[in-house]
Chain A
Amino acid sequence: MRPMRTIPAAALALLFASPAIGQETDVRSVRAEIARMRQDYESRIQRLETRLARAEAASTRTTATAERARRAAEAGARRPAPGNGPHDDQGAPEPGTETQAAAPARQTAAPAGADRGFNPSISVVLNGTVGGSRRDPAAYRMPGYSIGPDARPVDRGFALGESEITLSANIDQALHGALTLSFGRENTVSLEEAFIQTTSLPWGFTVKGGRFKSGIGYLNEHHAHTWDFADAPLPYRAMLNNQYADDGVQVKWLAPTKMFFEVGAEAFRGDAWPASGSANKGFGAFAAFAHIGDDIGAGGEGGSWRLGVSELWTKTANRIAGADTFDGDDRLTIVDAIYKWAPNGNFADRYIKLQGEYFHRLERGVFNGQGLSAVQQGFYVQAVWQFAPRWRVGARYDRVWGGSSNPGLAFGALDPSGRVGARESVMIDYSTSEFGRFRLQASLDQSSGKYDPSILLQYTVSLGAHGAHNY
């Protein structure tokens, strides 16, 4: 294609040099001729480029538009300084691109990644486990807590974890959208997330609507496959049925400060544990959070950190868990902290990640016909160390306690019977690449009131579009 383009350039040069330019009619005809040729060549080049694009699309997904924009940009970039650089030996300016480059240089052609083309980027997460534990997860209970249907240890033996498909893309100049479908081991499909999010609101506002994971806490917003352990920490398991997502709307505001500071508020339907039954005519849950964070040292060479405080208020109408029913309110407060450090701030080979969250919940209402006012608390702390490229080790300690002291509820789910649920876990994982990870995790779980040692081998891989990960 390139040699062909030099022909019109030469032809143009000849035309300009022609002696006929003296007479006005000739000038006009020459201009018309040039315009005609330019048009002719533009359409030819366009045709060629279309063909090229088709050919390229067949073999790879690199688009010809990016290349065209780049070429236009190059021509545009070189134009103000013709012929004074050693890199200018790439052919004469091309008439075909000249007109394109005359437009203001705004060749922000391709956004990063596989978001090119009009197809949404697709990513698939696969995971599975094989393991053993002394106690049967199906009979799991936590003294002091009435727990949700997903709040139990990973299944024994071979077990497929949740397989996820995520589709995401910018909807237009103002909106971004994403959909995550999750397939369970028992061939159940659940809509994990389906939301739209603004990208262009002024003054640091972002609004999200649909079904999404709440911004409370630290881990809650992260997809489970990005967690550093195979299962949720005990306070998440006990108080949020692992993770809190519901249908609703979220408004976030990012302060115009150098230090990171954001606040957010959320309103939900109130269908997700610990809420249930869409109380308040479908306005059953509200949340608010604030995050603050920063680098330590230039480029984060001394590490980076984030602190958060969150509140979740849920109203529950006729929640049924096993034989237990509950009507009432929950108020959950979470304080979370995370710190990450790597030598020189370079996370490629080695890094350390410390995180912890504290949960405090006040549950009030009517439980199995008895008045209830229970305080439940929990926390976890964990450390993960990537000690060599692709190898990481981690340790976690988590603990939950509290429940009801109402004698009418004695021997029921909310009676802690003087017990505190605690668990210690260690893990080592190996990543075949950024996209594949194998993890061996051992836990000593006393959260059910009995010793439950377990060991688990897990794989978590993602394929398709290269996802970007939250902090």
Chain B
Amino acid sequence: MKYFIALAILLLSPIARPAQALEVFACEPEWAALAGEIGGDGVSVFAATTARQDPHQVQARPALISRIRAADLVVCTGAELETGWLPVLLRQGANPRVQPGTAGYFEAASFVRLLEVPTRLDRADGDVHAAGNPHIQTDPNNIRLVGIALARRMAELDPARAAGYQAREAAFRGRLDAAIARWRVEAAPLKGVAVASQHKNWVYLLTWLGMKEVATLEPKPGVPASAGYIAQMVDELPRKGAKMILYAAYQDPKPSDFVSSRTGVPVVMLPFTAGGTARAGGLIAFYDDTVGRLLAGARGHAQRD
């Protein structure tokens, strides 16, 4: 009986899988979209979170554990963004192919230059990430770099489809480059525009577009504002010349709305990642929508859902 069970487990276990699709577990929607662009029909992509969820605060849900178990490739941001849940999934998912240090574990933040690397580490400074700000997907140039590295990794894991991955990545990069050139023109009026943000998750976007963050509605990253701090922001925002208040689709707009109602500075909700708004379906659409909303915001029109 014992041998029969052992044999059954052997036969049922998915060892001979290369003929099947490459199973990709993406921690965030942007990496799911990127893996989909590069993988096409060769991959089956599962997104652990949606654009309407705060990627810092995800439950290590049973469904995620079983998806980790099935994955050939785990694509996550890294830089400690998923530190509250991914380690549990990796330990409980019992999948040696995707453990940190193996080819099946891909951290996007390793392939771009991180900004806002703290010079001191102290939780009194709020929810700071030792490696730097992890919200890299708001700059398409980062997506471009990660895409190149991801295509290589997928080719390494699935050599039979390597050429296809490289070709699809090159094609995607071509479209992205064309779009980046177009956004450079379209977003020119945004250069130097001062904004306030609800949470410090726009540094890559603002750096890309040459905008300035003059205030944050959180006194420290990840620490919700007190009433006193909000009142102070209401005073400061007009003086600092903020043209709009940015918040992400997954965030509760209350603090932004409140400050906006007292100061007249319009709120602009941004998709934050692919799928964050109805019009931000794919990656390029995500930046299209982001630039469009920022331009409208700069003209004084509030942007919500």
Contacts and interface: CB of A to CB of B under 8 A. Distances in A.
Contacts of B106: 108
Given A77-B148, A86-B184, A433-B127, A300 B61 contact: yes
Most buried by B among A109, A206, A293: A109
B109 to A, nearest CB: 8
A139 interface: no
Contacts of A291: 62
A471 B60 contact: yes
Interface stretch (B80-88, B236-244, B294-302): B80-88
Given A112-B80, A293-B62, A301 B50 contact: yes
A69 interface: yes
B263 interface: no
Interface stretch (B63-71, B189-197, B284-292): B63-71
Interface in A269-289: none
B119 A60 contact: yes
Interface in A155-184: 173, 176
A74 B52 contact: no
B120 A59 contact: yes
Interface in B107-147: 107, 110-114, 117-121, 123, 126-127, 130-132, 141, 144-146
B231 interface: no
A83 B63 CA distance: 43
A87 B106 CA distance: 22
B93 interface: yes
A434 B12 CA distance: 42
A451 B149 CA distance: 66
Contacts of B61: 293, 295, 300, 304, 340, 471
Given A66-B110, A300-B63, A304-B61, A344 B53 contact: yes
B304 interface: no
A243 interface: no
Nearest to A344: B52
Nearest to A297: B50
Interface in A74-101: 74, 76-78, 80-81, 84-87, 90
A200 B148 contact: no
B96 A74 contact: no
Contacts of B50: 298-299, 301, 344-345
Nearest to A295: B63
Contacts of A260: 62-63, 65-66
B131 A62 contact: yes
A105 B152 contact: yes
Contacts of B83: 112-113, 466, 468
A80 B166 CA distance: 10
B60 to A, nearest CB: 5
B13 interface: yes
B91 A197 contact: yes
B99 A110 contact: no
Interface residues of A, number: 84
Contacts of A80: 148
A468 B85 contact: yes
Given A81-B148, A87-B144, A200-B99, A468 B66 contact: no
B171 interface: no
Interface string B168-202: 00100100010011001000000000000000000
Nearest to A349: B252
A256 B13 contact: yes
Contact of A60 (B114, B130, B252): B130
Contacts of A345: 49-50, 52-53
Nearest to B69: A254
A254 B9 CA distance: 12
A109 B131 CA distance: 12
Interface in B19-68: 47-50, 52-54, 56-63, 65-67
Contacts of A90: 113
Interface in A346-392: 346-349, 389-390
Contacts of B100: 108, 111-112
A112 B252 CA distance: 27
A206 B95 CA distance: 9
A230 B37 CA distance: 49
B156 interface: yes
Contact of B149 (A77, A87, A173, A294): A77
A247 B112 CA distance: 45
A246 to B, nearest CB: 21
Contacts of B48: 299
A258 B252 CA distance: 32
B173 A87 contact: no
B141 A85 contact: yes
A305 B61 CA distance: 8
* Most B Cβ at <10 Å: residue of A200, A260, A435: A260
Given A105-B149, A112-B80, A66 B131 contact: yes
A468 B60 contact: yes
Interface in A109-133: 109-115
Q: Report the 9 A-B pairs with minimum CB-CB distance, sorted nearest first.
A: A293-B62, A260-B62, A200-B96, A348-B54, A111-B100, A299-B50, A87-B141, A344-B52, A295-B63
28 contacts: A60-B118, A74-B112, A74-B113, A76-B149, A86-B141, A112-B100, A113-B87, A173-B101, A204-B13, A255-B66, A256-B69, A258-B63, A258-B66, A291-B62, A299-B50, A300-B61, A304-B62, A340-B61, A345-B53, A346-B57, A347-B57, A433-B123, A435-B123, A463-B123, A466-B84, A468-B85, A469-B85, A471-B59
Interface of A: 59-62, 66, 69-70, 73-74, 76-78, 80-81, 84-87, 90, 104-115, 173, 176, 197, 199-206, 252-262, 291-295, 298-301, 304-306, 340, 344-349, 389-390, 433-435, 463, 466-471
Given A70-B114, A108-B101, A111-B100, 6 more contacts: A73-B110, A108-B102, A113-B83, A252-B94, A298-B50, A299-B48
